Structure 1
Amino acid sequence: LLDAELMPWSAKAEQLLREQYAAVGAAARSALPVAVAVLEQAAAAGLDVGDLLARTRSRSVNADSFAAAYRRYCWPTDGLSGVRLAPFQVLASEGATHHARPHAWHLELADRLVAADPEIVAPTRRLAVDTTDPASVAAGTQWWEQLTGAGGEGMVVKPAANLVRGRKGLVQPGLKVRGREYLRIIYGPDYTEPTNLERLRQRRLGHKRSLALREYALGLEALDRVARGEPLWRVHECVFAVLALESEPVDPRL
């Protein structure tokens, strides 16, 4: 049982892409250039529309960036031709779970899957960082900047030991650190505007983090029950508990 990502998005959520992303991009890219042209005519006629024209031009550029961002995750497929599977972790196998194994073990197995079928299985890039070493942290930051600057989604920061317990219990299993262009898909074309960035910086994360830890613990318990061969209703207890937590209201800016 693998934790993996199936790509492209267009192979598994074509309708969602059309309705939620393509429609937004198409509408903005149709309307905003016309608005810019009209405002330029108004400015040429002596009307005081300079600020509005600047904002509209910025929104038009943002709309183009939004469309380019989600299109990176769409490409044509034919059956399994063109489909890629990127494995991150081996969750369980016959009679055993593997959350206590270090991430290096999981990624080595992922590399073996890539070697066995490189046309379908995609490699997972990684970099080990020593958070007590400023030079190592700087190298990790530069690696992320290069990755996201080239259009990559970002990275997930994880503890090397995988399952970690601290003084207060379980430690967050991973932290997604996404790039600005991917976040434009999440928060909308105008995500990078200063007013939006300031609003998003005020997000309340405590409740979300608490929910994530409880969902993580329930997921581990579900995997243990699967590995022990327990009946499905016992596994579903954990699954439905996770679904209940995911329905909890959180800060909408998350």
Structure 2
Amino acid sequence: MFVLEDGDSVPEDLQDTEQVEGAIALGRMAYAVAGQVKDAFAQLADGPPLAEVPLVQDAEGFAAWVGAKRTLTSRGNLTLKDARDAWETLQLWRRPLGGAEGAFVWRSAAECSPLDAAFSAAVQQHVEVVGKQLLAIPLSGLTGAEAELEVEAGRMGALALAVEDLGYEWATASDLVAMWANAVLLCGAIGRVPSRAEVRDFWRHWVGGGGTGTDRQVELALSLGEHLGLLRVDGDLVRGTTTGVEVLTLWQQSREEGLV
């Protein structure tokens, strides 16, 4: 059993030492401020299942859209015609920075953030770039439980990489980590699920001695946290998720090993 510095133990369903250590490391300073680690972990929202995370759905939908093959530009991007078609097919205007329905305004596929994110996540598992071709990756041949484990590992890896890649493009990776950690910590500190405004204010006044985050950064971090399954937003209420523990732990380990 993993025991915290204050003598409390982590709830039984979160006693995987590696995951808990990783999560605590992400918010060490904030935990000291909140002083309610056990309660914070206890109030994590379950899941979501990886198959229900929006970015995972986009990546798998993108792979289905690619089919057997798509031709890329000399820069390795989708053609503008294909980019517009993929954006419309996957309804990416519903995603953060996705634009307005029926109005594809980008000059290249790489400029459309949700499409670029789906492309990058799909390359981790479903498709590969060979020269100027985007090709479907042949199935591994595994079946049953082994096949499912392979799929889940690919999904988790894509999400961990997205914390790094999308964080730097849309806000910062530290913004995403801080947003997740502070949603968890505030929940434990006040003894209830916090509102969006409360999490926003806590984030702005705590991060780095704070107050430097713009409203746009905060809103993007919240939206992206939900997009990656790190946060669950129910109406005006924001909760950290157990999936967030796993994704951010893998992200942290990958950073330490120089993989991202």
> TM-score, structure 1 length as denominator?
0.24
Larger radius of gyration: 1
TM-score (norm 2): 0.24
Question: Greater relative contact order: 1 or 2 (C-alpha under 8 angstroms, separation 6 or more)?
Answer: 2
